[in-house]
A and B are shown apart, each in its own frame.
Chain A
Amino acid sequence: MDEKTRNDLLKLFQGKLNQAMRFYLETCTRCGVCTEACHVYASMPQVRYIAAYRAEIVRRIYKKYFKGQGKAWPSVGESKELGEMALQELYDAAYSCTGCRRCMVYCPFGIDTQMIMSIAKLLLIGAHTEPEILTMLADMSIEKGRSLDLFKEGFLVGIKNLEAEVVRKWRLEAGETAIPVDVEGANLLYVALAGAHSIIPAAAVFNAARENWTLSFFEAVNFGAFVGDPAKTKLILERIINEAKRLKVKEVCICECGTAYRVMKHLAGKQPFTVSSITEVHARYIREGRIKLDKTKFTDPVTYHHPCQIARNGGVLEEPLTILRQLTNDFRDMSPEPKYNWCCGGGGGLVALGEDTLDFRMKSSTVKVDQVKKTGAKILATACENCHTQLSNLNDRYQMGVEVKFLTSMVADALVR
């Protein structure tokens, strides 16, 4: 690695050093309490998958360039030069971590490995060694925000084609629109994913609850966050913020996507609207009596996988249970303490990398498989696209014998007048 590249990368590193990051990089005592926290380690016990070991890969570079200790006495902390080899280690650490933050629950200090891995991801972008597909997807999202008019027409035609499906789930009164788009003054802006499965059931439930809602032009997922690029994360986020402001909505509701929810909820800053996940909105409709569900629709035992970014990291813990209590009499809790729930193994961009990471995702998530099997449930519900894909892959690979379903689609299927 030449001097200029290294200096550029160190500037990126420096940019990540805020107060919390310094805390995390200064403090680890390498006590090893986090050892059993990581689902990757629990499934494949290798030292490189321990949270403290991953973090130490970044910390060694920190010691070398940003700490007196690494300059005066490099061997004492095993500080390390930033070079090609270090980049490889950073890649292995960052892209075998799903950012679930389960280790943060174990650490006596609360060190956030996901945040430390964000340095690794940014350095990889700086060195152009990040997974290209994630950057491409992020760029596409940004481009869509820049040239909305170009794809607007096609989008509206596509949405029109879905309306019949929505009506099949929930019959409307004459003159009502099944999927309203671009409605100024609506109460709620629903930000979906690019896929009918994310729009049709949600639309049916909004209509059943007689919500004054409108569908966003943009998809919720933030590939900028997956690849760890703060600038792109912000650009992708701002498209939705600007749309919400333009339409003067009171609430932005994020579809079943963990990353999208956490980024919007925590990074949007103070805005004239509130941010909710669709799970929270559905639980509210049930509490307010705006929708009613048929408990006999699903007779098989149901369990629920708490998506990390929505539950442990987003605080939506009770709401899915409120919904499930109305959906089934046979709910099997896989994790009575949701903060200890095992990650599905697909977060942090791993599912978005598709086949490339499939083998690793399957091997690194056997603890999840055991956890699901233990419940004896036949329906595995969840509220995150990534989790759904990963759990479906696990179901195929390990013959778990469950049906993986989105919570929203279960709500839509069980709607009663």
Chain B
Amino acid sequence: MVYLAYAVFLTGTVARLIKIFREPRNPSTLQIYPERRPKWLWALHDTFLLPTVRRHKPLLWVFLMFFHVAFLLLIIGHLELLAEFKIFQVIPHEVFLGRGFVGLILSLCLLFFLFRRFKSPVRELSVPEDYYLLILLFLTVIFGSEMDWARRWYGYGELTVSDYRAYLSSIFLLKPAVPDTMMFAGHSFMMVLHVFFANLFIMFFPFSNLMHSILSLPMNKLRRG
């Protein structure tokens, strides 16, 4: 299933991006004034610092910033399971980063995003896709984090970073093998569910509004001219 999920994710995303970027450009500018230069730098600023949200919905902005930074840190954490990157060890740390708090922050942010969708007017704006994505990601994060919390906070020692690393590397090297320790550990079901929900999530990626992660920058560039 992991391979199927990645195949769908990669081909789907690439196919959709090709389709979108092959369309002709808009014949006129879509800029909003006043203009600030350099335009590309302001487009980056708008994309990564979300100034419009900070101004109009400051609480949402705090959660959004925490969420996106934590998400990035978790991606780094997973990359570090594959191999050791010197660049990430500029600040020396154990894998995973953040002593379990990154996952906690992410979970809380997701709950905030989910519960704000239960309230009008965001409730009326939302479609099922928005809920599915938040729930899928929450489940992925909560099971993944529980493994981390167990090790970090409760001294659970049956599964170690090297077990996770062996498993992820085997998948990456196209020789999938589940280490015995993982297969028979008490927390194996968490691993299974974590991977399962993650697969669903990334398979949905190319067909959902998650594409904003890629399209946000070119769109902000359009607004900046």
Q: Which A residues are closer than 8 A to B by beta carbons?
A: 17-24, 26-33, 35-36, 47, 50, 52-53, 56, 67-69, 72, 75-78, 101, 104-112, 115, 266-267, 269, 311-315, 317, 338-339
Contacts and interface: CB of A to CB of B under 8 A. Distances in A.
Given A269-B27, A317-B33, 13 more contacts: A19-B20, A23-B222, A26-B215, A30-B127, A35-B122, A53-B124, A67-B207, A77-B128, A104-B32, A108-B46, A112-B30, A267-B27, A339-B34
Contacts of B29: 266
Contacts of A111: 219
Contacts of B121: 32, 35, 47, 50
Interface string B48-74: 001011001100100000000000000
Interface in B15-30: 16, 19-21, 23-30
Contacts of A23: 20, 215, 218-219, 222
A314 B122 CA distance: 31
B33 A312 contact: yes
Nearest to B43: A110
A315 B60 contact: no
Contacts of A77: 127-129
A108 B216 contact: yes
Nearest to B130: A30
A269 to B, nearest CB: 8
Contacts of B207: 67-69, 72
Contacts of B188: none
Contacts of A27: 209, 211-212, 215-216, 219
A127 B211 CA distance: 32
B208 interface: yes
Nearest to A115: B30
Contacts of A315: 31, 33-35
A20 B57 contact: no
B126 interface: yes
B209 to A, nearest CB: 5
A33 B33 contact: no
Interface residues of B, number: 47
B83 interface: no
Contacts of A313: 32-33
Contact of B33 (A22, A50, A108, A314): A314
Given A69-B208, A109-B215, A339-B33, A267 B28 contact: yes
Given A32-B125, A313-B33, A314-B33, A110 B46 contact: yes
Contacts of B28: 266-267
Centre residue among A23, A77, A315 by max chain B CB count within 10 A: A23
A106 B52 contact: yes
Contact of A31 (B34, B122, B215): B122
Contacts of B129: 69, 76-77
B223 interface: yes
A29 B85 CA distance: 33
A373 B39 CA distance: 36
A26 B23 CA distance: 14
B21 to A, nearest CB: 7
Contacts of B130: 29-30
Interface in B171-221: 207-209, 211-212, 215-216, 218-220
Nearest to B29: A266
A109 B219 contact: yes
13 contacts: A20-B219, A26-B215, A29-B212, A30-B125, A32-B121, A33-B56, A52-B125, A67-B207, A106-B56, A109-B220, A112-B223, A317-B33, A338-B34
A341 to B, nearest CB: 12
A56 B30 contact: no
A56 B128 CA distance: 13
Contact of B122 (A32, A36, A115): A32
A67 B220 CA distance: 23
B162 interface: no
A115 B211 CA distance: 20
A195 to B, nearest CB: 27
Contacts of B220: 109-110
B33 A311 contact: yes
Contact of B23 (A17, A29, A267, A317): A17
Contact of B209 (A29, A107, A267): A29
Contacts of A18: 23-26
Contacts of A68: 207
Contact of A109 (B16, B26, B212): B212
Contact of B127 (A78, A105, A108): A78
A20 B26 contact: yes
A19 B29 CA distance: 13
A314 B125 CA distance: 30
